[in-house]
Every structure is written in structure tokens, then in C-alpha cells.
Amino acid sequence: MHEMSLAEGVLQIIEDHAAKAGFSRVKTVWLEIGALSGVETEAMRFCFDAVTRGSVAEGAALEIVATPGSSWCMQCGVSVPVAERYDPCPRCGGYQLQVQGGTEMRVKELEVE
């Protein structure tokens, strides 16, 4: 389950920001996860709860902001939405697609006190 190491990375980002900004508690974390990132959101929630125990983010709400996947279709010459990496082009049915977006995972926002 690679979500555990991802959750640990998110906690490290939070703790780094807490040290710089001087906040003592995180109330909410908004995490942007792309549809093509390979991150299971429910596993991420479970792992986030586990790794934040005893930290500034203990008990923080985790809000997942889903971002859609997009690819460039080489046959159509346009950007198209895709839900999975190896889906065909929704316009022409071709498989010559180059992923353009939806692979990211980032901490978008923190609500702190």
C-alpha cells in the first residue's frame, strides 16, 4: 500500500509548514488527487488518520479534491478527458493518447490554528 508512504509525505509537508509558520494545530487538509495518479482515496484516508496520530494534524479532517484526467489524442489532435490511463479516446476510439493531466497529488490548502 503506497498510500502509507504518501500520507507520511503529506504529514512531513504539514510539519514543515507548522515549523515555519508557527501554527500548533491543523483542522482541515485539502488534498488534490488526480484521477490518473493511482492513489486510492479511501486507502489514503485510512493512512492519513494513522500517520497523523500524535502530530499537529491529529484529528484533522481530510478533504479530497478530485481532479480529472486528460490526454492528448494524437489521431484527433485535441485534448480529451479520460478516467483511466489506458482508456480509448472518447471521440475516435483510438489508443494513441499522451497523458496531460490528472497524475498529480498535492496539498492544496490547510486550515490551521
pLDDT of residue 62: 98
| Predicted local confidence at residue 91, as pLDDT | 96
Q: pLDDT of the chain along its 113 residues, tens only?
A: 589 999 999 999 999 999 999 999 999 999 999 999 999 999 999 999 999 999 999 999 999 999 999 999 999 999 999 999 999 999 999 999 999 999 999 999 999 99
- Is the separation of the CB atoms in 26 and 61 below 8 Å? no
DSSP lists the bridge partners of residue 81 as 70
pLDDT of residue 58: 97
Domains of the chain: 3-112 (3.30.2320.80)
Q: Give the pLDDT score at 12.
A: 97
- 85-104 as b/e, with b when 16 or more CB fall inside 10 Å? eeeebeeeeeeebeeebbbe
Question: What's the farthest any 2 CA atoms get from each other in the chain?
Answer: 53
Going by C-alpha positions, the residue among 46, 48, 42 that lies closest to residue 8 is 48
Number of Cβ atoms within 10 Å of the Cβ of 57 = 25
Q: How far is residue 9's CA from residue 16's CA, in Å, rounded to a whole number?
A: 11
The cell 510539519 sits on which residue?
15
Query: What is the model's pLDDT at position 1?
Result: 56
Residue type at position 83: A
pLDDT on residue 101: 95
